């Protein structure tokens, strides 16, 4: 498998693969077996300098092109990505452990959607005309310059595209650092953008751990930092970027509420809970891991959910029949198992799962806790694994108050046949991304992001353009200039 995954070199800079063996060595593992699939080196200061210098040079060339010209490059890249979807999906499965059944539709495919969407609107990134009587003003949307993207390990190529596509559409360049846990697919994106006609140096990939991200964040050549990661990492990046007054977009974690009222369609509510807890083995930041079920349907909900979990097919994630894969690493598995033990210790009732799966690899059983109370650790802290906490509630006002009683505010979902109530409840939930009668759908046309400790700014949709461009105002006088003396 190593031969299939080992890149030509660790980094992609100025249109070509680059290696510096002086950088700290690290490996990428296949989570289903522990096999080493690639060996890489973290970026040295010399590598970072090359990447930032290349991006600075390429950005000037790219910004001179018209939006239509930039859009064509992004759309060509989307076409190439779709044509190579299976190869990219297999690489992503090997690097993350996510089932191929999932990566074929949710990873590179989503990345291609982002490139296509922002490629399509690049020519329409314009300013406005402002009449001022005899005079007028106009605005121009300008690029920021060199942007840094720092990715997470759960959706590596999707996150890379979600950051690169709007950045490039606006005329910026990017230096992207993937997670050291899943370092491979971003290199393929760099290849594809270069093949599609992007200037050498426009999108560079450098590998490394936290120190690499910190060096990029504080470099004076960088105008913008976009991070997907944990709250502690987000705080550090935000503080470091603030020192240089850099633009920042931060998408962090969550402990999102998913609310099922008595009148909800039971099958749809359970489907939402499954998608919001067990897809990607629970490793999704927007997951609805606090499932509030109104008491009138609680028993039926738990019974039917348990039946539905019999459909879990655990095994080799490269087998398309498998729909539940391992966690990304041993460290993540150990973390999740420690939370499961905490749930048991604090008195929650195990309805399903509750243990490491009896097989090789980082597999944890899909776990459902019932009789969870708001003060339990599993109801307060982000677990990032296949652990669902089911909480009872009586009425609407109660559940809204309890759903909002958290430091997080990334996402929320409501299941009910009463659409008036659905909109009323969603309107009161403190979350940036919400769903009614579905969960975890994130089309590129819709802005995605959180409030409170779940982040700053938005990705996707036109909102992303606001975060990768700046407005210049121009006042045009058509008459004489009057002065007091």
| Cβ contact 25:209 at 8 Å | no
Using CA atoms, how far apart are residues 155 and 89, in angstroms rounded to an integer? 11
Q: Which of 102, 116, 251, 365 is catalytic?
A: 251
Q: Which of 92, 180, 365, 459 is catalytic?
A: 459
Strands 290-294 and 135-143: unpaired
Q: Is residue 231 left, alpha or beta, with left meaning phi > 0 and alpha meaning psi from -120 to 50?
A: alpha
Smallest CA-to-CA distance from 117 within 151, 166, 69, 81 is with: 166
Using CA atoms, how far apart are residues 37 and 28, in angstroms rounded to an integer? 6
Smallest CA-to-CA distance from 454 within 224, 256, 191, 170 is with: 256
3-state secondary structure of 415: strand
Q: Report the 10 Å Cβ neighbour count for 351.
A: 18
3-state secondary structure of 164: helix
| Cβ contact 234:158 at 8 Å | no
Using CA atoms, how far apart are residues 270 and 412, in angstroms rounded to an integer? 15
Q: Tokens 């802005």 belong to which residue? A: 447
For residue 341, what are its two tokens? 């033990």
Q: Which of 285, 298, 362, 382 is catalytic?
A: 285
Q: Is 163 a catalytic residue?
A: yes
Range list of H helices, 100-230: 100-106, 108-121, 156-169, 185-195, 210-218
Q: Which helix (H) or strand (E) holds 66?
A: none
Using CA atoms, how far apart are residues 474 and 79, in angstroms rounded to an integer? 38
| Cβ contact 426:408 at 8 Å | no
Q: Report the 10 Å Cβ neighbour count for 408.
A: 25
Beta-bridged to residue 65, according to DSSP, are none
| Cβ contact 189:157 at 8 Å | yes
Q: Is 285 a catalytic residue?
A: yes
Using CA atoms, how far apart are residues 453 and 235, in angstroms rounded to an integer? 9
Using CA atoms, how far apart are residues 75 and 122, in angstroms rounded to an integer? 10
DSSP notation for 440-472: ----TTS-B--SGGGEES-BSHHHHHHHSEEEE
Q: Which of 5, 102, 163, 365 is catalytic?
A: 163
Q: Report the 10 Å Cβ neighbour count for 445.
A: 10
Catalytic residue numbers read 163, 251, 285, 459
């Amino acid at each position: 498998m190593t031969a299939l995954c080992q890149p030509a070199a660790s980094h992609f800079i100025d249109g070509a693969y680059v290696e510096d063996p002086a950088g700290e060595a690290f490996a990428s593992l296949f989570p289903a077996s522990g096999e080493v699939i690639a060996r890489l080196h973290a970026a040295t200061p010399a590598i970072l300098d090359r990447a930032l210098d290349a991006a600075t040079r390429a950005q000037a060339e790219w910004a001179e092109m018209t939006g239509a010209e930039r859009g064509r490059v992004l759309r060509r890249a989307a076409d190439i990505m779709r044509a190579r979807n299976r190869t990219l999906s297999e690489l992503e499965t090997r690097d993350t452990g996510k089932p191929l059944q999932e990566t074929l539709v949710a990873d590179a495919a989503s990345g291609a959607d982002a490139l296509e969407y922002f490629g399509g609107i690049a020519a329409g990134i314009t300013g406005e005309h402002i009449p001022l009587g005899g005079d007028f003003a106009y605005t121009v949307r300008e690029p920021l310059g060199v942007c840094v993207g720092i990715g997470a390990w759960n959706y590596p190529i999707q996150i890379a595209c979600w950051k690169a596509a709007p950045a490039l559409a606006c005329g910026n360049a990017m230096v992207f650092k993937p997670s050291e846990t899943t370092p491979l697919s971003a290199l393929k994106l760099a290849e594809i953008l270069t093949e599609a006609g992007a200037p050498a140096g426009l999108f560079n990939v450098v590998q490394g751990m936290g120190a690499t991200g910190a060096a990029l964040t504080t470099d004076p050549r960088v105008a913008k930092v976009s991070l997907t990661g944990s709250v502690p990492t987000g705080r550090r990046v935000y503080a470091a970027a603030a020192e240089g007054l850099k633009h920042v977009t931060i998408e962090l974690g969550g402990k999102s509420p998913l609310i099922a009222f008595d009148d909800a369609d039971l099958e749809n509510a359970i489907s939402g809970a499954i998608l919001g807890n067990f897809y990607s083995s629970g490793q999704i930041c927007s997951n609805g891991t606090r499932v509030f079920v109104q008491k009138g349907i609680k028993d039926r909900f738990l019974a039917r959910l348990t039946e539905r979990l019999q459909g879990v097919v655990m095994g080799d994630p490269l087998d398309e029949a498998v729909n539940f894969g391992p966690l990304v690493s041993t460290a993540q598995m150990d973390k999740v198992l420690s939370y499961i033990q905490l749930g048991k210790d604090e008195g929650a009732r195990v309805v399903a799962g509750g243990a490491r799966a009896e097989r090789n690899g980082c597999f944890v059983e899909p776990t459902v806790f019932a009789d969870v109370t708001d003060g339990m650790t599993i109801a307060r802290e982000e677990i990032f694994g296949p652990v669902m906490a089911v909480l009872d509630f009586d009425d609407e006002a109660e559940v809204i108050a309890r759903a909002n009683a958290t430091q997080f505010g990334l996402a929320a979902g409501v299941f009910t046949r009463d659409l008036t109530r659905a909109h009323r409840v969603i309107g009161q939930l403190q979350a940036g991304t919400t769903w009614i009668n579905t969960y975890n759908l994130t089309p590129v046309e819709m802005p995605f992001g959180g409030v409170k400790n779940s982040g700053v700014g938005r990705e996707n949709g036109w909102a992303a353009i606001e975060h990768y461009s700046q407005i210049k105002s121009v006042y045009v006088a058509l008459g004489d200039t009057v002065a007091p003396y």
